[in-house]
Amino acid sequence: MNSTKLNTYMFSRKYDRQGFTLVEIMMVVIIIAALAAMVIPRLTGRSEQAKVSVAHSDIDAHLATALKLYELENGNFPTSSQGLQALRTKPVSSPVPVSWNGPYIEKDPIDPWGNSYVYVSPGKHRPDFDLYSKGKDQNSTEDDITNWDE
Protein backbone atom coordinates (compact mmCIF):
# COMPACT_ATOMS: atom_id res chain seq x y z
CA MET A 1 0.00 0.00 0.00
CA ASN A 2 1.51 3.32 -0.95
CA SER A 3 1.59 6.24 1.49
CA THR A 4 -1.20 8.22 -0.21
CA LYS A 5 -3.63 5.33 0.04
CA LEU A 6 -2.55 4.68 3.64
CA ASN A 7 -3.12 8.33 4.64
CA THR A 8 -6.52 8.37 2.93
CA TYR A 9 -7.49 5.10 4.64
CA MET A 10 -6.38 6.31 8.10
CA PHE A 11 -8.00 9.74 7.62
CA SER A 12 -11.33 8.26 6.60
CA ARG A 13 -11.28 5.69 9.45
CA LYS A 14 -10.52 8.41 11.98
CA TYR A 15 -13.73 10.32 11.14
CA ASP A 16 -15.98 7.37 10.29
CA ARG A 17 -16.50 6.40 13.94
CA GLN A 18 -19.94 5.24 15.01
CA GLY A 19 -21.15 6.37 18.47
CA PHE A 20 -19.35 7.88 21.45
CA THR A 21 -16.50 6.69 23.61
CA LEU A 22 -16.96 5.87 27.26
CA VAL A 23 -14.98 8.98 28.25
CA GLU A 24 -17.29 11.24 26.21
CA ILE A 25 -20.40 9.71 27.76
CA MET A 26 -18.95 10.06 31.27
CA MET A 27 -18.15 13.74 30.64
CA VAL A 28 -21.76 14.42 29.58
CA VAL A 29 -23.09 12.60 32.67
CA ILE A 30 -20.77 14.60 34.95
CA ILE A 31 -21.84 17.91 33.37
CA ILE A 32 -25.54 17.04 33.73
CA ALA A 33 -25.02 15.98 37.37
CA ALA A 34 -23.18 19.25 38.12
CA LEU A 35 -25.98 21.32 36.57
CA ALA A 36 -28.62 19.36 38.49
CA ALA A 37 -26.70 19.85 41.74
CA MET A 38 -26.81 23.61 41.18
CA VAL A 39 -30.46 23.87 40.07
CA ILE A 40 -32.37 21.39 42.27
CA PRO A 41 -31.64 23.09 45.63
CA ARG A 42 -32.97 26.37 44.23
CA LEU A 43 -36.26 24.74 43.21
CA THR A 44 -37.01 22.85 46.42
CA GLY A 45 -39.73 24.53 48.42
CA ARG A 46 -40.91 26.55 45.43
CA SER A 47 -43.97 24.37 44.88
CA GLU A 48 -45.29 25.21 48.35
CA GLN A 49 -44.65 28.92 47.74
CA ALA A 50 -46.52 28.63 44.44
CA LYS A 51 -49.51 27.02 46.16
CA VAL A 52 -49.62 29.83 48.73
CA SER A 53 -49.51 32.39 45.91
CA VAL A 54 -52.35 30.66 44.07
CA ALA A 55 -54.46 30.63 47.25
CA HIS A 56 -53.79 34.36 47.82
CA SER A 57 -54.75 35.07 44.22
CA ASP A 58 -57.97 33.06 44.51
CA ILE A 59 -58.96 34.70 47.79
CA ASP A 60 -57.93 38.27 47.04
CA ALA A 61 -58.91 38.45 43.37
CA HIS A 62 -60.81 35.62 41.69
CA LEU A 63 -63.31 34.58 44.34
CA ALA A 64 -63.56 38.09 45.82
CA THR A 65 -64.44 39.51 42.40
CA ALA A 66 -67.03 36.79 41.78
CA LEU A 67 -68.59 37.42 45.21
CA LYS A 68 -68.73 41.18 44.59
CA LEU A 69 -70.37 40.64 41.20
CA TYR A 70 -72.90 38.31 42.83
CA GLU A 71 -73.62 40.97 45.45
CA LEU A 72 -73.91 43.70 42.82
CA GLU A 73 -76.49 41.73 40.82
CA ASN A 74 -78.44 40.23 43.72
CA GLY A 75 -78.21 42.86 46.47
CA ASN A 76 -76.46 40.62 49.00
CA PHE A 77 -73.64 38.12 49.33
CA PRO A 78 -74.45 34.41 49.48
CA THR A 79 -75.16 33.27 53.01
CA SER A 80 -72.77 30.93 54.82
CA SER A 81 -75.22 28.05 54.26
CA GLN A 82 -75.39 28.78 50.52
CA GLY A 83 -71.61 28.99 50.47
CA LEU A 84 -69.38 29.46 47.47
CA GLN A 85 -71.51 26.99 45.50
CA ALA A 86 -73.91 29.92 45.01
CA LEU A 87 -71.33 31.22 42.56
CA ARG A 88 -71.69 28.05 40.43
CA THR A 89 -75.38 27.17 40.73
CA LYS A 90 -78.37 29.31 41.63
CA PRO A 91 -79.23 28.86 45.30
CA VAL A 92 -82.67 27.52 46.17
CA SER A 93 -82.46 28.36 49.87
CA SER A 94 -83.45 31.74 51.29
CA PRO A 95 -82.63 34.38 50.27
CA VAL A 96 -83.11 33.12 46.71
CA PRO A 97 -81.36 35.53 44.35
CA VAL A 98 -83.71 37.22 41.90
CA SER A 99 -81.13 38.39 39.35
CA TRP A 100 -78.73 35.44 39.42
CA ASN A 101 -76.73 35.61 36.16
CA GLY A 102 -74.15 32.98 36.91
CA PRO A 103 -72.18 30.95 36.97
CA TYR A 104 -69.77 33.51 38.36
CA ILE A 105 -66.89 31.03 38.52
CA GLU A 106 -66.02 28.24 36.10
CA LYS A 107 -64.91 25.50 38.48
CA ASP A 108 -65.46 24.45 42.07
CA PRO A 109 -63.65 26.70 44.56
CA ILE A 110 -60.93 24.29 45.67
CA ASP A 111 -57.68 25.48 47.24
CA PRO A 112 -54.29 24.28 45.91
CA TRP A 113 -54.21 21.51 48.54
CA GLY A 114 -57.46 20.01 47.22
CA ASN A 115 -59.83 21.30 49.90
CA SER A 116 -62.73 23.73 49.72
CA TYR A 117 -62.17 27.35 50.67
CA VAL A 118 -63.96 28.37 53.87
CA TYR A 119 -66.60 31.08 53.38
CA VAL A 120 -68.51 32.85 56.16
CA SER A 121 -71.02 35.66 55.54
CA PRO A 122 -71.42 37.96 57.30
CA GLY A 123 -67.83 37.70 58.35
CA LYS A 124 -66.36 37.62 61.83
CA HIS A 125 -63.29 39.58 60.76
CA ARG A 126 -64.85 41.67 57.99
CA PRO A 127 -68.38 43.02 57.73
CA ASP A 128 -69.10 41.50 54.30
CA PHE A 129 -67.51 38.03 54.26
CA ASP A 130 -64.56 36.02 55.50
CA LEU A 131 -62.83 33.83 52.95
CA TYR A 132 -59.85 31.63 53.72
CA SER A 133 -57.93 28.44 53.16
CA LYS A 134 -56.63 26.41 56.07
CA GLY A 135 -53.41 25.81 54.13
CA LYS A 136 -51.31 22.71 53.90
CA ASP A 137 -51.99 21.35 57.39
CA GLN A 138 -55.80 21.83 57.17
CA ASN A 139 -55.90 23.17 60.74
CA SER A 140 -56.65 26.71 61.81
CA THR A 141 -53.09 27.84 62.41
CA GLU A 142 -50.71 30.58 61.32
CA ASP A 143 -50.35 29.06 57.84
CA ASP A 144 -53.96 29.95 56.95
CA ILE A 145 -54.41 32.22 53.95
CA THR A 146 -57.16 34.73 54.71
CA ASN A 147 -58.83 37.79 53.23
CA TRP A 148 -58.56 39.80 56.44
CA ASP A 149 -54.82 39.70 57.20
CA GLU A 150 -52.62 41.71 54.87
pLDDT in tens, 58-103: 888 899 999 999 999 999 999 999 999 999 999 999 899 988 998 9
Q: Are residues 9 and 60 in the same domain?
A: no
Structurally, the chain folds into a number of domains equal to 2
pLDDT value, residue 77: 93
Are 135 and 142 a contacting pair, CB within 8 Å? no
Q: Are residues 81 and 128 in the same domain?
A: yes
pLDDT value, residue 145: 87
34 or 76, greater pLDDT: 76
Are 136 and 51 a contacting pair, CB within 8 Å? yes
- CA–CA distance, 117 with 65 (Å, rounded to integer): 15
Q: For 21-30, 92-101, 136-145, which range has the lowest pLDDT when averaged over its residues?
A: 136-145
Q: Are residues 59 and 117 in the same domain?
A: yes
Domain that holds residue 35: 3-43
Q: Are residues 97 and 37 in the same domain?
A: no
Q: Are residues 102 and 67 in the same domain?
A: yes
Are 127 and 112 a contacting pair, CB within 8 Å? no
- CA–CA distance, 19 with 25 (Å, rounded to integer): 10
Q: What is the pTM of this model?
A: 0.68
pLDDT value, residue 88: 94
Distance spanning both ends of the chain, measured CA to CA:
87
Q: Are residues 26 and 100 in the same domain?
A: no
Q: Are residues 27 and 87 in the same domain?
A: no
